Chains A and B, each alone.
Chain A
Amino acid sequence: MAGTGEGKKEEPDYKKLFNFPLIRHTDMPEEMKVETMELCVTACEKFETNNESAAKMIKESMDKKFGSSWHVVIGEDFGFEITHEAKNLLYMFYGGRLAICVWRCS
């Protein structure tokens, strides 16, 4: 019990440690992937408290850069089933708690 308590206390530290973005699944080409990942990190850092604005920023930038009809979901606890265009999906973690899913489907 004490161990789990300590574990919980350590968690926020770990989350601070886990600040790097971790790509969970993607089929994007390398360049696109890197750009998108950086964009997501920027957005999340900018809008730390507001997921919606972060998602809005990401979506608009993706639309401008890569073409229309991008969808973005940011959250901590959700399940999803999506159909995306081939080579246009990025699913990543960030900051130890956020999960970001970016895909395109027109």
Chain B
Amino acid sequence: MPMPNNTTAASTRKQKGAGAKSTKAASRKKDEEEGVEMVDGLDEAPVKPKDQLELSEAELKEEITRILTANNPFAPQNIVRYSFKERSYKSTSVVDQMAVHFVLEGNLLHQDSDEARRLRAKEGLFEETTVVDAEAEPEEEEPETPATPVEDGGDMEETGEDDRPDSVASKTDKKEPKLTNQFNFSERASQTLNNSLRDRCCQTEPPPRVTFSDTANQWKTYDMYEMETEKQEKNKDKQNATPKKENDNSKKKMMLIETQSDTITKVLKPAKILERMCNQNICDDIAQDFKYFEDVSDEFRDQKGTLLPLWKFHYEKAKLSVTALCWNKKYQDLFAVGMGSYDFSKQGHGMLVFYSLKNSAFPEYIYPTSSGILCLDIHELHSHLVAVGFYDGCVAVYNLKEEGQEPVYKSTAKTGKHTDPVWQVQWQNDDMDNNHNFYSVSSDGRVVSWTLVKNELVFTDIIRLSLNGAVSEGPEAVHEPIVVGGTSFDFHKHIDYLFLVGTEVGQIYKCSKAYSTQFLETYEAHSMAVDAVKWNHFHPKVFISCSSDWTIKIWDHTINSPMFTFDLNSAVGDFAWSPYSSTVFAAVTTDRTVHVFDLSVNKDQALCQQTVVSKKKTKLTHIDFNPVYPIIIVGDDQSCVTSLKLSPNLRRTPKGKKRQELPKGPETEVAKMEQLLRLLREPDPTTV
């Protein structure tokens, strides 16, 4: 542009030539030069800068128009931007021409906005205390605020002034609206159900009261004191004499404690007595018969007798045969029953049961065993010791005094039990060391002596049974005895070492405890097993054997052949000598009959043959006489024991020729027997 050049040229001229005054003139000149150059040229020869354009007059007259616009000289005239949408450069036609010269951030509020209202309300609260200050404040604010808001501030001030008296007046009238936060906080409350209350009251029982009355006199006091001094003197004497008293007291204390602690055992004894009483009341007639009944009709029966059935002892829990019976020598109403089974195929458990005549309903003692019992024996002196032989070959000793169901001693395979059923056991006298001992015989051919040494059962083989004369077929021709089983034995009442053994094959051996290999004698007794062999209680030489070959034979042990033989038409299970007579014995057979014989009365026939059991299938297995009372017990294979009373005919004692009672005693019995034997030894055509 030429103008700037002129000015610059002018300025430079001035700077070169003149001072401050000349600048004004230069500027005036500049202005003039714009309009009319010629004038200047005329007045003075205009000083032309060297770089001034040389223009023609026509060009100098040309009017150049200038336009003054409000455009922002610094704003760009055309902006080109790349548009990603259209993928090309685009020019924006309209460019913002605003230039901001000054910005001031203000803190003004519109009077109708929420915030302003809130502030106003607050200001209203302070109005009372700071009225003057509030009026002063808006005046100060006035000059500060820029032009346009001044009016608003003034308006606010006025409205504030109006509001203030209003707010003062209204403050007392209405409450402030509650401020809530932007989360819309809300309150919740609830009340649970209270349990209903209940009144309870209680009155305890007052402690019991007792009335008491007495008189306190001088004489009473004196008397009491006298008594007391006497007692004390007695006590002193006792204390000096026996220090045992304390022991007694302690023992009493012990007993008290025991009885207190166990109330059941307290009742046990009375209960037992009651039970017996009840049973005896029920079987009152039987008890009366047992004591007093004597069959009067015996007089007419011409030496025959009868057996009156008394109590029946039946233990339901045992479905076993009665295999052994034994009376207790000391308590003569107590007897033991061993239960088991004779049947080889039906072997199970067994039971040892003790009954008392005083209580026929239930046993006194019950001992269940694992194996069937075959034999038992009660010690003569120590009647609480019972020896038992089992089907499995064991022997055991029970102590009735001890609690518990187990035997105190029992033999095991290690301690030498038999390998076959034990058929008989019998107690012996105490040996030299005062140990109890008993013998047992079994089908394994051994007769064993068992000794009770402290806690053990020690066995000693006494003898091995074998068939005499058996020869083995070996080249060495050594006598190898064939073992034969023993089924019964009996020890002599007086000669301690002598005993008899009956075998399975029917032989009876007379043995001695001293000789273990040899027999003293052999009797060819029966054709079948010898079920029982028993010495006579009185006569030292006589014994009886009975067998399943239906016979009973009476022997004198010095003679090899039997003296009497009785054929009973049925297998004989057992027999027993009577304790009161040497010539009376009873036997039971499998056809439910009891045979009672009295040799002094009738040598050939039984005095009494009576069936004692009702059921046809029952077999009688054992019999035993009571040592004192005239009753016998008979066991059968239905686990029932029947007691029978012997009628008078069966227990007759020999009467003297002059109707005098001969002295009772073993001597008479022996004499009786001896008489019989004498008869037999002499050849008698009547006996066969």
A residues contacting B by CB (< 8 A) are 11, 14, 17-18, 20, 22, 24-25, 27, 75-86, 88-89, 91, 93, 96-99, 101, 103, 105-106
Contact = CB atoms under 8 A, between A and B. Distances in A.
B221 interface: yes
Contact of B225 (A22, A86, A88, A106): A22
A84 B213 CA distance: 10
Interface in B188-234: 206-218, 220-222, 224-225, 228-229
Interface residues of B, number: 20
B216 A101 contact: yes
Given A18-B225, A96-B225, A81 B218 contact: no
A39 B221 CA distance: 20
B224 A14 contact: no
A86 B225 CA distance: 27
Contacts of B218: 76-77, 97
Interface string B617-642: 00000000000000000000000000
B209 to A, nearest CB: 5
A50 B210 CA distance: 30
A9 B534 CA distance: 88
A20 B229 CA distance: 10
A14 B210 contact: no
B224 to A, nearest CB: 6
Contact of B210 (A24, A83, A98): A83
* Most chain A beta-carbon neighbours within 10 Å: one of B211, B225, B229: B225
Contacts of A84: 209-212
Contacts of A76: 216, 218, 221
A91 B210 contact: no
Given A76-B218, A93-B224, A17 B229 contact: yes
Given A14-B222, A93-B224, A93-B225, A82 B211 contact: yes
21 contacts: A17-B225, A17-B229, A18-B221, A22-B224, A22-B228, A75-B216, A76-B216, A78-B215, A78-B216, A80-B214, A82-B211, A83-B209, A83-B210, A84-B211, A84-B212, A85-B207, A86-B207, A86-B209, A91-B212, A93-B225, A99-B220
A91 B221 contact: no
Q: Interface centre among A81, A89, A98, by most B CB within 10 Å? A: A81
What 6 pairs across the A-B complex have the smallest Cβ distances? A99-B216, A81-B213, A79-B215, A18-B225, A86-B208, A83-B211
A84 B222 CA distance: 26
Contact of B212 (A22, A25, A96, A97): A25
B223 to A, nearest CB: 10
A97 to B, nearest CB: 6
A24 B212 CA distance: 12
Interface of B: 206-218, 220-222, 224-225, 228-229
B216 A11 contact: no
Contacts of A77: 216-218
A11 to B, nearest CB: 7
A24 B214 contact: yes
A14 B222 CA distance: 9
Given A22-B228, A96-B221, A99-B221, A91 B214 contact: yes
A86 B206 CA distance: 11
A79 B225 contact: no
A101 B214 CA distance: 10
Nearest to B217: A77
A99 B229 CA distance: 17
Contacts of B214: 24-25, 79-80, 91, 101
Given A76-B221, A86-B208, 16 more contacts: A17-B225, A18-B225, A20-B228, A76-B216, A77-B217, A77-B218, A78-B215, A80-B213, A81-B211, A83-B210, A83-B211, A85-B209, A89-B212, A91-B212, A93-B221, A93-B225
A91 B210 CA distance: 14
A96 B222 contact: yes
A86 B210 CA distance: 6
B235 to A, nearest CB: 13
Contacts of A103: 212
